[in-house]
A and B are shown apart, each in its own frame.
Chain A
């Protein structure tokens, strides 16, 4: 996002720039706040965790001899007696994308030092996340009510339940943690901690709107993971 100038160092674009940055006997990720680099590394490790879940799901589904439950029937909602396939999941997807959009705008307004707008957008993002978790809780209780368990279910292959609860549960945990942090950061934004450069409680780092971007990276990642879960678990 930002490329603050480093004195005596010329930024080159592309792979040439990459080679120079890496070989410069200085910090490698130039112009990238250390917090942002660390968040990216964390997200990379999280990517591996989610990949392991999705790959084990792929292997489990691919190697069972029993027929896999049809997700568009299992996750259908009845509206006026007519089953609408994946309705709740579609709404959840749109809610999460909406919250991702408000987060992106919050980052933009944060860098423009528009405190009020940034705060309200973070709050809207938290609200979207909360709605998502609420709908997921509804979905879980509906499936549990219908007899889906991690070891059995009335629709088909018994592995279905364990993969469903593990993958969506782990993603839901990420959303919940995100909502908690969004709320804290909304408070910090409204209180002006990033304008005044007030130090946080986890760190002696001075408050700076880059923290909103770091939080945004986490939130977009949660949305990103949902894109893959939606495609592989619900649509496939």
Chain B
């Protein structure tokens, strides 16, 4: 019976929070679809895509996955490894540019 008692103490969140986040996710998805619909190009397109993407990801993780209410001990264990991914992205951007450069150079200029 102890188990049941512990269960009853579990706090749940008001349904309004979930419905709000749900609605916001719909709006943000619609906005990112509109980026393609209006065929925005260049820096505007990329920045809008990234902003909407990160906002959606943050909303899902914070409220649907409850990270907003979790203790910092687990939140930090989960989020810090993401910096390794960011480093990897940076490395591969540089590597990709180098590959593209050498391809252009050797395909079109030719190497002796």
Q: State the A residues within 8 Å of B (CB).
A: 1-5, 11, 13-15, 17-18, 21-22, 28-32, 37, 40, 44, 47-48, 51, 55-56, 58-59, 62-65, 72, 85-86, 90, 93-94, 97, 100-101, 103-105, 108, 111-113, 197, 206, 208-209, 213, 216-217, 220-221, 223-224, 227-228, 230-231, 234-236
- Given the known inter-chain contacts A86-B36, A101-B25, please indicate yes or no for A55 contacting B92, CB distance below 8 A: yes
27 interchain pairs (CB within 8 A)? A1-B12, A5-B9, A21-B71, A28-B73, A29-B73, A29-B74, A31-B71, A40-B74, A48-B81, A51-B85, A56-B92, A59-B96, A59-B99, A63-B97, A85-B37, A94-B29, A97-B25, A97-B29, A101-B19, A108-B13, A111-B7, A208-B3, A220-B60, A220-B64, A224-B60, A224-B61, A230-B53
> Which bucket holds chain B's interface residue count?
35 or more
- The docked-state distance in angstroms from the alpha carbon of A217 to that of B36 is 30
- A112 pairs with B12, CB closer than 8 A: yes
- Given the known inter-chain contacts A105-B15, A231-B49, please indicate yes or no for A209 contacting B104, CB distance below 8 A: no
- The docked-state distance in angstroms from the alpha carbon of A101 to that of B6 is 26
- The docked-state distance in angstroms from the alpha carbon of A228 to that of B22 is 18
B30 → chain A closest CB, angstroms: 8
Which residue in chain B gives the minimum CB-CB distance to A86? B36
For the complex of A and B, 6 pairs with smallest distance between CB atoms: A62-B96, A18-B72, A63-B99, A231-B53, A101-B22, A21-B73
Convert B71-112 into 0s and 1s, putting 1 for each residue whose CB lies closer than 8 angstroms to a CB of A: 111101110011001001100110111011001100100000
The total of Cβ contacts below 8 Å across the A-B interface reads 168
- A217 pairs with B71, CB closer than 8 A: no
- A62 pairs with B93, CB closer than 8 A: yes
Query: Which of B7, B22, B56, B78 is close to A113, meaning CB atoms less than 8 Å apart?
Result: B7
- The docked-state distance in angstroms from the alpha carbon of A30 to that of B70 is 10
* Set of chain B residues within 8 Å of A108, measured between Cβ atoms: 12-13, 15, 18
Convert B43-63 into 0s and 1s, putting 1 for each residue whose CB lies closer than 8 angstroms to a CB of A: 001100110110011001101
* Set of chain A residues within 8 Å of B21, measured between Cβ atoms: 101, 104
- B7 pairs with A209, CB closer than 8 A: yes
- Given the known inter-chain contacts A17-B71, A30-B73, A40-B74, please indicate yes or no for A224 contacting B57, CB distance below 8 A: yes
